[in-house]
Amino acid sequence: AILDETDSGLDVDALRIVAEGVNSMRSPERSFIVVTHYQRLLNYITPDIVHILVDGKIAQTGGPELALVVEKDGYREYLPAAGATG
């Protein structure tokens, strides 16, 4: 399943409900691509892998901690890695 900015416009209660639904469907046989610009959703859905995309290219790959770094420091560090000019 692809969840593209599912957290957009959701209040905290709705976000938790969505996350509970996603988490209840997690299994080794099922994959999700979750697109978000904010760490908030990842407080409820812990990703296995995090990709930072810049101009449609993967600029960095890591674990859940990568999302925390981006939340703290922003995306600027990753712009040159994908050939973007910022």
pLDDT under 70: residue ranges of the chain:
81-86
pTM: 0.80
Which pLDDT belongs to residue 80?
74
Which pLDDT belongs to residue 78?
87
Which pLDDT belongs to residue 82?
56
Q: Give the pLDDT confidence of 16-32 residue by residue, as tens digits.
A: 999 999 999 999 999 99
Which pLDDT belongs to residue 83?
62
Q: Considering the chain, what percentage of its residues have pLDDT values greater than 70?
A: 93
Contact 23, 30 (CB under 8 A): no
- Distance between CA 18 and CA 3 in Å, rounded? 10
